[in-house]
Structure 1
């Protein structure tokens, strides 16, 4: 007897394909969930960070005498107290733990204070005297390469060229545009926080909200001058991330204070410090030229893309590669010329944020498609359909798209949706400006806009991207129970639920406990790039397969009394889950089941036996881009989403209300349908924010709005109703056929909303977020 996963879902409650309750859901709704800022330890002290008020300055001297004299202060540390390497970074170790002779952005850490109370630490911090020689900041991303170097080797972090086809191609219809994307913040709700506890072995235990435990561990250990095994990280409750927790913030600082004082040390940023303490989305300036024939078919695309990486590299190199390789959108274009540069400036550091390079280019190429449609006198959706890529299309990098790419179908689905009716009576809640009573409908015009986007899934360019999972099966109190352990980080996206669903499906056990995530197990990789369900899901599935093989062997030796051994199908033992080099199964056939636990009383079969297996799972290999042509199979998988936006715009006041968003997205297979919808809604909300409200205002390298009073994010009153079509076109190369979900809707929602505002106003609107003055022209 052998059951498919779909059949197991019906046999075991909460398996894949269902939407079980999140294990952390009730606690979060009731406000009882323990986040990292809630951590507490007996006799702990509090840490505070002194930060530079200047975006660029030379440090002449640092006097900590006054801070040390404050009662209750245990330590004041500078770069001289860093025992190991005073540098860290995701791709390049270019960022000091504590500044030495120069500061390169406003908010750069200079000194640390540890005290018996957070207010004591802050008061002492204010008594540290720093003498600066203020320097002229480098702030223009388009000219930064030629400005005085901020780092050895100059201000260029990375340049990626893409060259395909005829570089001198000509076309009958040509449109050009210059576009700008402002600096967006991840705006997670839980500020940076954690607790470092000195250990008896001379090491340290760090409890922290992060996105990547093992990469944090490596950077912290290097700074502390300790071996990896003496720096142990455990995940604490994470209040959102969206890329902003991939880089270090307080991790090394808390550990330094803990080891220096011998006391547990807690650090919690306030909201203003959080704006300075993490990376943001790269602002961008993008120059595009599209050429097409009279039928609308694209002949060539040329693009020059500038990304502002800020003071330190972070993940700028990878963001540049994404922007370049995805920079023409989900379209077939025979001739492509793209250059993308990421540079150092004295603006705030920028790194990972949901969409990771594809958001910036998505706004530009979709704006170009609307401009081209207007020049051709074509419907903007029809133009996209003429050029839409599909399975088998070739990317500008030469990579063949070898799984579903239903771009045309997604566009047709959103276009076919009925448009929302216009209000028959004036209700302030339905108007731009809402209950602020700014308008009663005068000057309000409705617009409709469309957009589609493409995003790579998982890490790229030959990165050894894998995850590790350990699954244990045993009997507790007479009931079979499974425990799953990974270092893959739950940041609110629902990975803990997905892991439970996979284990239930693969082992037929209803009770599944997810152990705390920590560095006590192999690397789980980063919770980013829409990769965790794909990669950690694959690792959990592989570990379960190993457990099932052990169960099969156990069943051979210990067949339960009364069960006919011929009912066991022990011949169809599938080893592909354990061997990533084995051919993928035919996606049209049922998922093989190496051992079906359904006929067994598992408790009786297991007895006192404990079965535990660990598996690593890697997706198929990628390769680096050619440094001259940009050619190469750089990406694992592609995800696609399309949006239609309906907006009402008060053209006199410049106010926008998004009336409705329709979205269609291919998710490969919806392991948890409710979570999939939540990801699409959340990504669309962040795209809406970038379209019409979210921007960190930076002038001369200084942040003007480091608070949620002045940095606006969409609320429930700003998010419109959404209609969502979810396609499940399985990727034969992925576990269960899954396709990453979280990022694609962020890419297409922004240009769709701006396209709708253009339709309502007739204005060009080449910059996001769109401000009232852009609409009114004042």
Structure 2
């Protein structure tokens, strides 16, 4: 029977490795796809959240009477109405469902309103009277971490995790470069705001249809707050309009369920764009100090580093972010001596948590900036300094973990450097920084080229029980073989539904495959984050398909066809759980330990034109080389690398949540800028396939690595064009602009 399966695989048009079309692609392009914000029931009402205008204050009283007195209002709730536990959280359950006696950040939820129209609900929320006693806000992360006189945001102090890494001793070196670097607070900026619909059920429970990244962990946080058993809180994934980490934490989930259970009516909550900025976590801003010591020819002898990450008011996933920053904080380089300290701290700034590449992005900007400084100090090229120190298979990382799968970094760098550079700009309006605004005709424009490397862990790390579950059913429908795949894995735009279909077609040789809507009636699939779903959910689907195939093969040993075997069996269904190999916590003193399941590498080269008089930047080209182990869907893979590169470019040049005194100044897409199609240059991609023997099909998670290296590559190119140190991203026009006398035309 194996030979039959091999023959089927050869026949399949849309199996693993093919550009299989997305089942949701046409609907999304035509605008017909139903997102969570499109949910509707005839008798539903609308929920709205009242949020604190202060980053830090005591709450003396909350009066919901004026809201309840308004016509069309069904409920107005405070923390006193929370039916179960009043706190939730991903790692620490200390974030209040609704503020109890204080608020710790601007935008913290204080009260809820349900009404028969969204505008009436908003007016009712605005009528609630809250008596605040404003207090000093802790907004400086360095003061929060190291000043004993600083107030504590939470009991127990402001440092939520300190992770050292200690390797070897602190040696001297003939060449030493130092630098201080800063990364601003980036927003995930997904296009679909937080939204969902909660429906009260006959058993006293609730059904929640919601855009999320992690159905089961949402449920396990929601149920205790509602005072319900987990089986009476049923979640179904609604259409997700992007995520990038921000949907790992709860937003409106408990609130909608509370209102639905209180009113006995379906309740829909949809954030507007401004509320979305306050309603989810962001990328941790970082302040970093680095010192690199090397031989005169540029071989690293030691790295000393301090990485300070501002986690904001609550924990979220900050401990994991700190762990990533610490373990990957010296980059994909062989360093015999390391003295690194990574800290995550509480402040009264907006809460920060998961965002694409978390922890590794911030560190990558610093260590890659340092490698450019070291190259200059040693008189070698930026590519050569990286080649001389690059890890390879068999190298040890900072944590002592051995790289036990292919890691051809030196070859990736050399291959990228050998690619031709783009031609000089043609001089047309679209070719110049500033574009069609025609702010320049090229008088002060200079070109720069920059390189950067990133290393990213794939899947959850540090001993987390990381697994996914898949249920696969083969049966006859209309006389033809059909396969149903059911997992709880969240499709957040990355193409996971397509990958599940491709795996089922490949393993079972059946063209007709349907992926059921993700929900909590099947076992957990974990989060759609950490570039893990193709690995673990793909592994679970593959394992379940193999079990189904084994049963079908047993039936067919008598010479039955597949159709005859399915007629005899009626249906064949198997559920399998897949885990990647075990990982281990980092030692709290030395930072040593095999903390990661898989590692992925990406290299970027950026070419920019910079108007040094006006401070404008045009990214002319991004070229990337990434090792993905095995390509499952070429088109989807290219989209992931393009998207990650775009978010990295945004962090380099434009994206930052402006926070002053704990207050967000730009909670809109008018003032928070993200790259558009006019900002993204053409990309040249080189995809390598060096299979990881530990992973299904040899694949490597590919969604995040390009985000790491694109930011420092663009920053390095701008430095090369301007000669300025530029130690902070995003780089603003006022960071670049030089006196006119120093400018020159591109040659």
- Could you give the per-residue CA deviations for residues 188-234 of structure 1, whole angstroms, max 9, x where no partner exists? 00000000000000000000000000000000001001000000000
1:285 partner SS? strand
Distance in 2 separating the partners of 1:405 and 1:196: 47
User: 1:423: Cα distance to partner?
Assistant: 2.8
Name 1:178's counterpart in structure 2: 180
Distance in 1 separating the partners of 2:3 and 2:112: 59
1:238-257 alignment runs, 5 A limit? 238-257=240-259
Tell me, yes or no, if the aligned pair for 2:58 and 2:133 is still in contact at 8 Å: yes
- Could you give the per-residue CA deviations for residues 101-139 of structure 1, whole angstroms, max 9, x where no partner exists? 100000000000000000010010110001111011001
Tell me, yes or no, if the aligned pair for 1:156 and 1:344 is still in contact at 8 Å: yes
2:295 maps to 1:293: yes
2:166 is aligned, of 163, 168, 186, to: 163
1:423 partner SS? coil
User: 1:606: Cα distance to partner?
Assistant: 1.2
User: 1:559: Cα distance to partner?
Assistant: 2.3
1:432 partner SS? coil
Tell me, yes or no, if the aligned pair for 1:691 and 1:751 is still in contact at 8 Å: yes
2:563 maps to 1:603: yes
1:413 partner SS? helix
Tell me, yes or no, if the aligned pair for 1:310 and 1:346 is still in contact at 8 Å: yes
Q: 1:125 to 1:366 in 2, by over 3 A?
A: same
Tell me, yes or no, if the aligned pair for 2:56 and 2:136 is still in contact at 8 Å: yes
Name 2:111's counterpart in structure 1: 111
Distance in 2 separating the partners of 1:375 and 1:623: 38
User: 1:295: Cα distance to partner?
Assistant: 1.3
Distance in 2 separating the partners of 1:385 and 1:437: 40
2:645 is aligned, of 684, 695, 698, to: 684
2:157 maps to 1:154: yes
Name 2:125's counterpart in structure 1: 125
- Could you give the per-residue CA deviations for residues 578-634 of structure 1, whole angstroms, max 9, x where no partner exists? xxxxxxxxxxxxxxxxxxxxxxx4222211520000000000001111111111000
User: 1:414: Cα distance to partner?
Assistant: 1.4
1:202-281 alignment runs, 5 A limit? 202-281=204-283
2:415 partner SS? helix
1:481 partner SS? strand
Tell me, yes or no, if the aligned pair for 2:613 and 2:738 is still in contact at 8 Å: no
User: 1:4: Cα distance to partner?
Assistant: 10
1:660 is aligned, of 621, 625, 629, to: 621
2:608 maps to 1:647: yes
Q: Bigger CA drift: 280-289 or 606-615?
A: 606-615
Name 2:36's counterpart in structure 1: 36
Q: 1:699 to 1:6 in 2, by over 3 A?
A: farther
2:98 maps to 1:98: yes
Tell me, yes or no, if the aligned pair for 2:425 and 2:432 is still in contact at 8 Å: no
2:96 partner SS? coil
User: 1:313: Cα distance to partner?
Assistant: 0.4
1:142 partner SS? helix
Name 2:286's counterpart in structure 1: 284
1:754 partner SS? helix
- Could you give the per-residue CA deviations for residues 474-531 of structure 1, whole angstroms, max 9, x where no partner exists? 0000100000000011000000000000000000000000001000010000000000
Name 2:14's counterpart in structure 1: 14
Name 1:326's counterpart in structure 2: 328
Name 1:408's counterpart in structure 2: 410
Name 1:507's counterpart in structure 2: 508
Structure 1: which 4+ aligned runs deviate by more than 2 Å?
1-10
User: 1:3: Cα distance to partner?
Assistant: 5.0
Tell me, yes or no, if the aligned pair for 2:5 and 2:509 is still in contact at 8 Å: no
User: 1:689: Cα distance to partner?
Assistant: 0.1
Name 2:745's counterpart in structure 1: none
User: 1:10: Cα distance to partner?
Assistant: 3.0
1:191 is aligned, of 190, 193, 198, to: 193
Name 1:729's counterpart in structure 2: 690
User: 1:293: Cα distance to partner?
Assistant: 0.3
Tell me, yes or no, if the aligned pair for 2:185 and 2:656 is still in contact at 8 Å: yes
Tell me, yes or no, if the aligned pair for 1:648 and 1:657 is still in contact at 8 Å: yes
1:635 is aligned, of 563, 573, 596, to: 596
- Could you give the per-residue CA deviations for residues 306-352 of structure 1, whole angstroms, max 9, x where no partner exists? 00000000000000000000000000000011100000000000000
- Could you give the per-residue CA deviations for residues 133-176 of structure 1, whole angstroms, max 9, x where no partner exists? 1011001111102321111111111000000111x211110000
Distance in 1 separating the partners of 2:460 and 2:5: 28
User: 1:418: Cα distance to partner?
Assistant: 0.6
2:440 maps to 1:479: no
Name 1:596's counterpart in structure 2: none
- Could you give the per-residue CA deviations for residues 620-670 of structure 1, whole angstroms, max 9, x where no partner exists? 001111111111000000000000000000000000000000000000000
Distance in 2 separating the partners of 1:183 and 1:5: 51
User: 1:416: Cα distance to partner?
Assistant: 1.1
User: 1:7: Cα distance to partner?
Assistant: 6.4
Q: Bigger CA drift: 674-683 or 4-13?
A: 4-13
Tell me, yes or no, if the aligned pair for 2:5 and 2:508 is still in contact at 8 Å: no
Name 1:586's counterpart in structure 2: none
Tell me, yes or no, if the aligned pair for 1:9 and 1:16 is still in contact at 8 Å: no
Q: 1:364 to 1:8 in 2, by over 3 A?
A: farther
Tell me, yes or no, if the aligned pair for 1:300 and 1:333 is still in contact at 8 Å: yes
Name 1:340's counterpart in structure 2: 342
Return the TM-score normalized by structure 1.
0.94
User: 1:457: Cα distance to partner?
Assistant: 0.4
Q: How many residues align?
A: 735
1:297-308 alignment runs, 5 A limit? 297-308=299-310
Distance in 2 separating the partners of 1:190 and 1:119: 20
User: 1:2: Cα distance to partner?
Assistant: 3.4
Name 1:83's counterpart in structure 2: 83
Structure 2: runs of 5 or more not aligned = 740-747
Q: 1:83 to 1:338 in 2, by over 3 A?
A: same
1:549 partner SS? helix
User: 1:9: Cα distance to partner?
Assistant: 4.2
Q: 1:98 to 1:4 in 2, by over 3 A?
A: farther
Distance in 2 separating the partners of 1:403 and 1:252: 43
User: 1:5: Cα distance to partner?
Assistant: 8.5
Distance in 1 separating the partners of 2:3 and 2:275: 53
Distance in 1 separating the partners of 2:160 and 2:89: 13
Distance in 1 separating the partners of 2:638 and 2:601: 15
Tell me, yes or no, if the aligned pair for 2:612 and 2:738 is still in contact at 8 Å: no
Distance in 2 separating the partners of 1:342 and 1:616: 33
Q: 1:197 to 1:329 in 2, by over 3 A?
A: same
2:712 partner SS? helix
Return the TM-score normalized by structure 2.
0.97
User: 1:777: Cα distance to partner?
Assistant: 5.7
1:143 partner SS? helix
Name 1:396's counterpart in structure 2: 398
Structure 1: runs of 5 or more not aligned = 561-600
Tell me, yes or no, if the aligned pair for 1:5 and 1:16 is still in contact at 8 Å: no
User: 1:13: Cα distance to partner?
Assistant: 1.6
2:445 maps to 1:444: yes
Tell me, yes or no, if the aligned pair for 2:167 and 2:338 is still in contact at 8 Å: yes
Tell me, yes or no, if the aligned pair for 1:9 and 1:17 is still in contact at 8 Å: no
Distance in 2 separating the partners of 1:382 and 1:4: 51
Distance in 2 separating the partners of 1:664 and 1:714: 21
Tell me, yes or no, if the aligned pair for 2:78 and 2:112 is still in contact at 8 Å: yes
User: 1:6: Cα distance to partner?
Assistant: 8.2
2:530 maps to 1:529: yes
